[in-house]
Amino acid sequence: MKEKVLYIISGANGSGKSTLAEVLLKEKHLEFLNADEIAKEISPNAINKVPISAGKVYFKRLNEFLKKDVSFAVESTLSGMNIVKIIDKAKLNGYKIILIYSFLQNCTTCIERVKKRVKNGGHNVPEEDIIRRYYKSIVRFWDNYKNIVDEWTLFYNGYDYAPLIVSVGIKEKYDIINIEMQEKFNSIIEMAKGEIKTGDK
């Protein structure tokens, strides 16, 4: 029986998830489940106004993919908890889960990229949401999500030419491909944890 794989392409808003998705979808010939794209189908000019409708369609399509036993990809910031439900469902249906995480060196760069996307006709995300999700996303990826999937790969996506593989792993065990960027990521994690604690006070 052919292996069924769920790829989770993740990272903060503006971190380059779509770039990674394009490469992966072409390479693996995957179906792609994206909440923003579904919202565009429902309301092209106001995708932020149809989250409930888009969410219903999203989970309907998710169930269809799972029933068809096909490999597919989803996108997530990892800042919320919906992805846990998706992982649990996929596991129950015999899927292998591969998590791909894209990061940038600071949330300012993420904000700039989202602004550039808006100028090119893409959807906007409020700055305060980008900042909050940037910190939560990184901490949750490293402390939680990488440990509940089967495999994970960490990418740095701050270069114009191509994403850079930083490390690959299974749960807590991993191989570092780029020491400099892994050390940079580790420093961001510590900073992010401090930001989250400060925000909780």
- Give the integer Cα–Cα distance in Å for 189 and 149: 20
Number of structural domains, the chain?
1
Segment 89-105 shows an average pLDDT of 94
Q: Is 10 left (phi over 0), alpha (psi -120 to 50) or beta?
A: beta
If one counts every other C-beta atom within 10 angstroms of the C-beta of residue 48, the result is 13
Question: Which domain does 162 fall in, by range?
Answer: 5-200
Q: pLDDT at residue 103 above 80? A: yes
Q: What is the pLDDT of residues 121-147, one digit of tens each?
A: 667 788 888 888 899 999 999 999 999
Q: Is the dihedral of CA 105, 108, 111, 113 positive or negative?
A: negative
Q: What is the pLDDT of residues 29-39, one digit of tens each?
A: 888 887 777 87
What percent of the chain clears pLDDT 90, i.e. is strictly above it? Answer: 42
- Give the integer Cα–Cα distance in Å for 113 and 118: 9
Segment 168-193 shows an average pLDDT of 95
Q: How confident is the model at residue 201 (pLDDT cuts 50, 70, 90)?
A: very low
Q: Provide the strand spans (E) within the chain.
A: 5-11, 31-33, 72-76, 96-103, 151-156, 164-170, 173-176
Q: What is the pLDDT of residues 181-197, one digit of tens each?
A: 999 999 999 988 887 76
CATH number for the domain spanning 168: value is 3.40.50.300
Segment 47-59 shows an average pLDDT of 71
